[in-house]
Amino acid sequence: MTDKDFTDGEFKGQVLSDLNFIKESLAKKVDREEFSPVKSIVYGLVGVIMLAVIGAMTSLVIKAADFILR
């Protein structure tokens, strides 16, 4: 008898065991309502960081142009 040879009852028991495992795993997952505030905070922080990088690059370009035009 190999691992794949189940009796009908063993097969149903294995399926029910797998279904219970899936239900327990899904119960631990974060749903969209819980994730929404985190997403807003992360997007806001990424936006601030990108704005700072673009501002720094713009400042460097302006300083370089001022230096060249003198």
Domain count, the chain: 2
In this structure, the answer to whether residues 46 and 66 fall within a common structural domain is yes
Global pTM reads 0.54
In this structure, the answer to whether residues 39 and 68 fall within a common structural domain is yes
CA dihedral over 19, 23, 24, 29, signed as positive or negative = positive
In this structure, the answer to whether residues 53 and 43 fall within a common structural domain is yes
Return the exposure string of 19-49: e unless at least 16 CB atoms fall within 10 Å of the residue's CB, then b: eeeeeeeeeeeeeeeeeeeeeeeeeeeeeee
In this structure, the answer to whether residues 40 and 68 fall within a common structural domain is yes
Segments forming the whole domain that contains residue 57 = 31-70
In this structure, the answer to whether residues 69 and 37 fall within a common structural domain is yes
In this structure, the answer to whether residues 43 and 67 fall within a common structural domain is yes
Question: How distant is the alpha carbon of residue 51 from its chain centre?
Answer: 22
DSSP 21-32: HHHHHHHHS--H
- pLDDT tens digit string along 2-59? 556 667 778 888 888 889 999 988 888 877 777 888 899 999 999 999 999 999 999 9
